[in-house]
């Protein structure tokens, strides 16, 4: 009862610094595991480093190689969502739930309560929900716009991997930070990504700033275009931390047997028995990522 009261009070406008949401996510993880509602994917980690760029490659163990288990069910799992995975209601229109097939403990999904297509523009209401969560619990947010960008479900969902403030958000974080001020000599991969600095983390203007930065990213990367008088979106990924927001324009979902979503650009890859790991070791994560992007600069 106390927890429910605290969350309701918090979402009425009070800011917490105690990561109540993260604690609830851990408690819900324990409960969901006991009820067999959660199916963690066991992996072995291999670190690949080339040209000072690190890639965390996770190898899925044999019992998790079935595609349906790795990528989730074909039916919409968010309509309705599994109550055993629910962490907290966020404002009026969103729910924060656990990822049913997590690779990392406490992997959270911010989903719209009602149907919203994943492949349409993220609206201000979504950003208000995201910033309400990050006022309490922050981390590495990411978004895959459609199947070509690595999305496994068509229902609107943004994803969160909790990180402590002051720690490294992802293996390739410096790569993104360097692109806030882009250099003149840009390669093909550089020309597919645009990064803007955030200045209003955990302020009353956080949601409006993210909405404006996102709109600017879509416009400048030519992600939004008109077709038959309708607004269309090219495939893209978003990655968001407390310091920056990045958009990567995509051409296809995978290469060399690797399925690449936003986490691939952050430096996290998942290897199945279809993945050509030897090719990745000989080449680099840069070669892999360069094969799935769509430069917006000619």
| 180-214 per-position pLDDT tens digit | 987 666 789 999 999 999 999 999 999 999 999 99
Q: Using 70 as the pLDDT threshold, list the residues of the chain that sit under it.
A: 1-17, 62-74, 183-185, 228-229
Reduced to 3 states (helix: H, G, I; strand: E, B; else coil), residue 275 is: coil
Helix (H, G, I), strand (E, B) or coil at 111: strand
Beta-bridge mates of residue 46: 57
DSSP class of residue 2 equals H
Measured CA distances, 125 to 74, 94, 225 (Å): 27, 9, 22
Residue pair 246/262 in contact by the 8 Å Cβ criterion? no
> What's residue 17's pLDDT?
61
CA distance 68 to 293: 26
Question: Residue 166 has what pLDDT?
Answer: 83
Rounded CA separation 60/279 (Å): 17
Written as one string, the DSSP assignment of 175-226 is: HHHHTSS--SS--TTGGGEEEEE---TTSTTHHHHHHHHHHHHHHHTT-EEE
**Every domain of the chain and the residues it spans:** 2-290
What pTM, to 2 d.p., does this model score?
Answer: 0.89
Question: In the chain, where does DSSP find H-type helix?
Answer: 2-10, 20-34, 67-71, 124-134, 173-178, 206-220, 262-266, 277-282, 285-290
The whole-number pLDDT of residue 51 equals: 78
Q: What is the end-to-end Cα distance of the chain in Å, rounded?
A: 57
CA distance linking residue 217 with residue 208, whole number of Å: 14
pLDDT of residue 165: 80
How, if at all, do strands 53-60 and 268-271 pair?
Answer: parallel
Tens-place pLDDT, residues 244-288 = 999 999 999 999 999 999 999 999 999 999 999 999 999 999 999
Angle in degrees, CA 11, 15, 21, rounded to 5: 65
Q: Residue 18 has what pLDDT?
A: 83
Domain 2-290 has CATH 3.30.428.70: yes
Partners of residue 249 on adjacent β-strands: 236
């Amino acid at each position: 009862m106390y927890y429910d009261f605290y969350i309701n009070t918090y979402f009425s406008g009070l800011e917490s610094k105690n990561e109540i949401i993260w604690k609830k996510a851990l408690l819900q993880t324990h409960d969901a595991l006991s009820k067999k509602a959660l199916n963690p994917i066991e992996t072995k980690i291999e670190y690949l480093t080339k040209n000072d760029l690190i890639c965390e490659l996770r190898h899925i163990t044999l019992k998790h190689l079935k595609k349906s288990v790795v990528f989730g069910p074909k039916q919409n799992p968010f309509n309705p969502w599994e109550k055993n995975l629910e962490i907290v209601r966020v404002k009026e229109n969103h729910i924060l739930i656990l990822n049913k097939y997590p690779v990392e403990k406490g992997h959270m999904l911010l989903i719209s309560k009602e149907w919203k297509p994943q492949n349409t523009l993220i609206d201000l209401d979504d950003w208000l929900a995201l910033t309400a969560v990050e006022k309490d619990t922050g981390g590495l947010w990411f978004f895959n716009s459609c199947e070509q960008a690595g999305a496994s479900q068509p229902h609107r969902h943004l994803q969160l991997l909790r990180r402590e403030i002051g720690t490294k958000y992802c293996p390739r974080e410096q790569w993104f930070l360097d692109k806030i001020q882009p250099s003149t000599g840009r390669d093909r991969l550089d020309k597919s990504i645009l990064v803007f600095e955030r200045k209003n983390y955990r302020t009353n203007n956080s949601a409006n700033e993210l909405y404006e930065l996102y709109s600017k990213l879509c416009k400048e990367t030519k992600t939004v275009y008109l077709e038959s008088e309708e607004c269309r979106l090219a495939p893209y990924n978003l990655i968001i931390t407390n310091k920056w927001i990045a958009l990567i324009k995509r051409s296809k979902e995978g290469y060399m047997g690797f399925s690449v979503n936003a986490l691939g650009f952050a430096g996290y890859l998942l290897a199945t028995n279809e993945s050509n790991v030897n090719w990745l070791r000989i080449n680099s994560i840069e070669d892999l990522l360069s094969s799935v992007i769509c430069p917006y600069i000619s």
